[in-house]
Structures are given as C-alpha cells and as structure tokens.
A and B are shown apart, each in its own frame.
Chain A
C-alpha cells in the first residue's frame, strides 16, 4: 500500500470512528436505567422492595422466598425505577411511583390470590397519565393523612376516607424538586420539609406557610426532629439546627468537604451524618460541635443505621462497615463490590440493602459487630433472573 493510500485510509478510519462514537454516545438506554435507589421496608416477617424494574416485591425475611410481586406500571415510560420507600397504611403496602402515582397493595396476598385491580388504589398527582416523579419517601401522619413530596416541587396532602380512597386536601408548591421526606411535628402540628430550592418549609395541615428557613443550597437530606429543634444537611456542605417554633438558626456546621445527602441518624444527643466526602460525622445536637469524624475512601450516599452500640453504613462503592458509635472503632466490614445508592433498612439485628446490580442483600450483625450473610445468595429482583439459581460465594 502506498503512502497516499494509507493517508486516505486514515481519513476514513477517523471519520468512521467519529460516526461510531456518535452512535455510542447516542445510546442512552443504560443511563435511563435505575440503580436500586429505594430503601427496603420491613414489616412482620416480610421485606418489601420497590425495584429497578418498577415492581413491588414481598420477600420472606428468613427464607428469601418471593411472596408476591406487583407491577407499578401501567404504561411504557422511562425512567421506571422506583425511588420511594414502600410504607404501611391501613394494612396495605403503598408505594409512590416514578409516574407520579400512589399504589396500594394487600400486604399479605400475592398476585395469584388477589387480582391487581381489586387491591389497587390510585392517587394521581397530575391530570396527565405521567405525573411528577416521586423520589422522596412518603409520610403518613395523624392516623389518616399522607404527605407526598414530588419532583415538581409540590407537597401534596391526602386524607384517607371511609371508602378506602385518598382524597386530596391541599398542596404546597416550592420552587424546585422535593426529594426529601417531610417530617410531622406533632407538638406544633406542622409539616417540615426541605426543597431543592434551598428552603426548609414549615406548613400546617391546611398547607399554609408557618415559616421558612433560607439556606444558600439545595436540601436533599430529610430533616430529623430533635426535641424543639430540627436538624438537616445541605449540598453546600453545611449542617443546620433550626428552632421548630420560629425557624430561627440554632447552630450551623460547615466543616465538611462534600454534600450532606442522606438523612442523618439521631441517637442519645449525637447526630450521625454521612457525607459524599466519604466521612461519617458525629456531631453534638445541642451545640453543633464535632465529636469525631470517621474517614473512608468513597462517598456515602445512604443513611447509616444504629443497632445497639453499632453504627452501620455502606459506601457508594459497596463497602459495608460497622463501627462503634462512641469510639468509632471499626468492628467489621465486607465489600459487596457493587454500587449502592439505597439506604439501609434495619430490623432487630438484621439489615437489608438494595444494590445497583438489581439485588437485595440481607446481613445479620453479630454480637461482635461482624456482618454475616443472612441468605445463602442475594435475592435478585428481576423476574426470572437466572442469577437466583446460580451458586453464590458469600462476600461477608
């Protein structure tokens, strides 16, 4: 091949590779796929999980056997992954869907026994077929009320009626998405929630604004009640304690290097907050003083949990760690080696984690703090997922 021919070929190769890369980047299917965001929910002997495929599955805690699965979808759309944690209400399991709907299922019955239509209850958050995505967890309060945060910035309140239907009461519109779960302050009869518009809002049950606390950054972390204060983290690497009555600042902490994304845990006057800088911060709730910082290598998106004296958390890269909540001494760990966005659900000495490979993992936290596999293999949530029949080596 002569030199000119080679140069002509190089030209064609470059053009072809440009077109191929265009093809590659235009394939966005995977990017729209979910990541197993929803936190599992435990009730009785079953764990309920909203899946990447948009289904709600009931699984037996001890045997890891599927009790039933129900589809939350009635139309083809993307994304279909469920973000919101299932919750129990009037003996039914409810779940908020990415299509802006609230669906209810009989918690004991599988689809084989009761038809979906009979057990289904719907609340449309929009007139369109596809409503705003429900990312934040739904709150049930005052026995017969629910508050649904949605990505259009609206907090919608519904009341449960005698005819077993939710009737809309009112809604409050913030200026950006609501991804955080609201909290109900029973003493002051107010709902408090953070918005991506950077404000923490307090409204009464008629959706009238009581007060708002302005931060300079988005709030994704669900706030936590602490006596007469409310505490929450923001994306501008700050943590706030605000007075519940008037929304005035008690203290402010901004010594972290990353975002406070997950809901913090409060235990005996200490706030345990995970951060995307890879650290766990233990902060005194009355003063905002740092008690200790536990450093890890990878960002932590999920909320930690406390079982006895153990603080348990998992990094985005899938490293599960157990440390002593007072001394921050590492007691045990194991590496799932898969990305984890979901928060941990705990029940007695067991924890449940949804993983981005489409699986639900369950571990027992032993008395010495070491995590141990509860099941002999993960539960893969995809219908007919062949991995459920394969041999599995324990990671813990």
Chain B
C-alpha cells in the first residue's frame, strides 16, 4: 500500500503543493489568488477535454430522433435496440461515456487538492512537518514562503467552513451549491428516455445540495476551488456551445455541433441528391432541348425542301 501512497504523492500531491506555493509567491503571497489561478490553470489544461465532452453530448442530442426510430422499429427486442444504438454510436464516432472524461480526471485532482490544501495550510504543527516532505528542496524560495498566509478576503482558507464565522458557514455552501446547479444545467447530458430525464432532473438538484452540504466539512480553500472551477466550467461551456457568442452577437462557434454536423450531413446529402436530380433534369432538358432543336431543324429542313 505504501508504494501506492508514494506514487500518489509523487504524481499528484507534491506537484500540486509546490505549484500552489509557487503561485502564492508569484502572486504577492496571496493564497486565495494562488488557488484561483491554479483552478484556471487546471481548467485551461482540461479545455480540450471539455470541447470533446460537449461534442459528444451534442452528438448524442443530434442522434435522438434516429435512436427513437430504432426504438420504435425494434420495440420489445432490447438486444437489437442496444446493438443498433451501439452501431449508430460507432458510425457517428460517439462514445456514450466519453462525456465523463473531465469528471474522471477531476476526481483525483479534487482529492489531491484536498490533501494538498491540508498540507499547505497546516491547521496544526503535525501538518506543517508533513509539508516539509512535500516541497521540492531544489527551489529555495519555497522554503522561505512557509508558513503560508491563509487569509483571503474575509476567509481563512485553511479552516473548516463549519467552524468559520456565520457568513462563511452560510455564504460558501450557498455559492458552491448555486454554481454547481448552473454547471449541471449547462452540461446536462441529453436524456434518451423518460427514466433518464427524471434521473437528470434529480441530479440537477441532488448534486448542488450534496456539494453544499459537503462544503461545510471542507476547508474554505477547497470550497473556493470548487466555486471558481464551477464558474469557469460554466463559462467554458457557454463559450463552447456558442451561447455566450449569441449573447454578444458573435458568429464564432468553437465546437462544430455534431447535431449540426449530422443535420449538415443530411442537408448536404439532400442538396447533393437535389443537385443530382437537378443536374439530371438539366441534362434531360438539355437533351430535350437538343432533340427539340434537332426535331425543329429537321422540320424546318423538311419545310424548306417542300417549298423548294
């Protein structure tokens, strides 16, 4: 077990602790700003994944009518529905659990950050000795920055929310809950059936309430991370989906909607068909015109001969 803990420390805890302290030094010894910029950094690194996730979700949304068709076509044959749906996903290059990527990646980051905050902002002398094991000895600046000043606005980032003042106890869980709700709302997976619709609706309320409740047991610094992460996540989602551009009348869209791609594909094929039809009709009319011309030429020639 110790080897797993060592690996975990090397991969997650030590880089996180040192990054947080370095940012703290660079940002004028303000740990709140350090957490905020760290969150932005994490979100930026996860940006390609977010785009992919949105693409997948939109793709799934775009496929709903076809899935419904399959469900109606093979009513009662669950295996066939599943087979056909899977092959449809495959055709469109969509992974039904692909949208969980950012969540899976965020899990170790969140747990690692939780531990890192405890190590970086020690609540007792024991934790401070632990910090000594986690910092990189080759960066002398880091040793000088210890201990970290945990004050940010009215918050003590190292103290547990429920043991903080009343404003923090009420304000932070509400902010975390509200931002989680917004995040859920913007990133909700499209429902395939009524059951999933009700699950989605339940999750939309359940997750924010659960996280608001958990926030009480987190250090304020972690609640700040969660809040900022949600806000940035929501903004990114709005940018990706083009909703924010439409707000400002911009025509750019970072992600080409898969449903749009599907529609476009359909349109294209329709247009192609139409074009083909048009072309053939044009050809037909050309031929007709030509044959007409030939016919009229022959008639004219006949008329001239008879006059002669």
- Nearest CB of B to A222, in Å: 13
Q: Say whether, besides A32-B123, A237-B143, A276-B129, A2 and B79 are in contact (CB < 8 Å).
A: yes
B297 contacts the other chain (CB 8 A): no
Whether B129 lies near A299 (C-beta < 8 A) is yes
A377 contacts the other chain (CB 8 A): no
- Nearest CB of B to A164, in Å: 32
Whether A4 lies near B217 (C-beta < 8 A) is no
Q: How far is the CA of A21 from the CA of B210 in the complex (A)?
A: 13
Whether A22 lies near B214 (C-beta < 8 A) is yes
Q: Which residues of B contact A79 (CB under 8 A)?
A: 123-124
B126 contacts the other chain (CB 8 A): yes
Whether A10 lies near B97 (C-beta < 8 A) is yes
Whether A276 lies near B144 (C-beta < 8 A) is no
Q: Which residues of B contact A341 (CB under 8 A)?
A: 125-126, 129
| Chain A residue, CB-CB nearest to B211 | A22
Whether B147 lies near A177 (C-beta < 8 A) is yes
Q: How far is the CA of A72 from the CA of B146 in the complex (A)?
A: 31
- Nearest CB of A to B110, in Å: 8
Give a binary string over B79-117; 1 marks a CB under 8 Å from any A CB, 0 the rest.
Answer: 101110110000000001100100110010011001000
Q: Say whether, besides A11-B97, A27-B217, A259-B132, A4 and B144 are in contact (CB < 8 Å).
A: no
- Nearest CB of A to B95, in Å: 9
B160 contacts the other chain (CB 8 A): yes
B78 contacts the other chain (CB 8 A): yes
Whether A216 lies near B96 (C-beta < 8 A) is no
B163 contacts the other chain (CB 8 A): yes
Whether A301 lies near B107 (C-beta < 8 A) is no
B225 contacts the other chain (CB 8 A): no
Q: Which residues of B contact A28 (CB under 8 A)?
A: 160, 217
Whether A21 lies near B111 (C-beta < 8 A) is yes
Give the bracket for the number of chain B residues in contact with chain A: 35 or more
Whether B85 lies near A4 (C-beta < 8 A) is yes
Q: Choose among A4, A217, A261, A301 the residue that contacts B143 (Cβ–Cβ < 8 A).
A: A217
B118 contacts the other chain (CB 8 A): yes
Q: How far is the CA of A32 from the CA of B126 in the complex (A)?
A: 10
| Chain B residue, CB-CB nearest to A175 | B149
Q: How far is the CA of A78 from the CA of B160 in the complex (A)?
A: 11
Q: Which residues of A contact B107 (CB under 8 A)?
A: 17-18, 21
Q: How far is the CA of A3 from the CA of B86 in the complex (A)?
A: 8
| Chain A residue, CB-CB nearest to B222 | A25
B28 contacts the other chain (CB 8 A): no
Q: Which residues of B contact A316 (CB under 8 A)?
A: 129
A5 contacts the other chain (CB 8 A): yes
Q: Which residues of A contact B65 (CB under 8 A)?
A: none
| Residue among A31, A37, A276 facing the most chain B CB atoms (10 A cut-off) | A31
Q: Which residues of A contact B111 (CB under 8 A)?
A: 21, 25
| Chain B residue, CB-CB nearest to A261 | B129
Q: Say whether, besides A28-B160, A218-B146, A14 and B126 are in contact (CB < 8 Å).
A: no
Whether B218 lies near A26 (C-beta < 8 A) is yes
Give a binary string over A276-309; 1 marks a CB under 8 Å from any B CB, 0 the rest.
Answer: 1000000000000000000000010100000000
Q: How far is the CA of A124 from the CA of B94 in the complex (A)?
A: 66
Q: List 25 A-B contacts (CB under 8 A).
A: A4-B81, A4-B86, A4-B96, A5-B82, A7-B97, A8-B96, A11-B96, A14-B100, A17-B107, A19-B210, A21-B107, A21-B110, A22-B214, A25-B111, A32-B124, A34-B126, A79-B123, A83-B125, A196-B147, A235-B143, A236-B144, A259-B143, A276-B129, A299-B133, A341-B129
| Interface, chain A (partner B; CB < 8 A) | 2-5, 7-8, 10-11, 14-15, 17-19, 21-23, 25-28, 31-32, 34-35, 37, 78-79, 81, 83, 135, 176-177, 179, 196, 216-218, 220, 235-237, 257-259, 261, 276, 299, 301, 316, 341
Beyond known contacts A28-B160, A236-B144: 15 more, CB 8 A cutoff: A5-B82, A7-B96, A8-B96, A11-B97, A14-B103, A18-B107, A22-B211, A25-B114, A26-B217, A31-B118, A37-B125, A79-B124, A216-B144, A220-B125, A301-B129
| Interface, chain B (partner A; CB < 8 A) | 78-79, 81-83, 85-86, 96-97, 100, 103-104, 107, 110-111, 114, 118, 123-129, 132-133, 137, 140, 143-144, 146-147, 160, 163, 210-211, 214, 217-218
What are the 10 A-B residue pairs with the smallest beta carbon separation, nearest first?
A26-B217, A2-B82, A4-B82, A276-B132, A35-B126, A236-B143, A25-B114, A26-B214, A216-B144, A7-B96
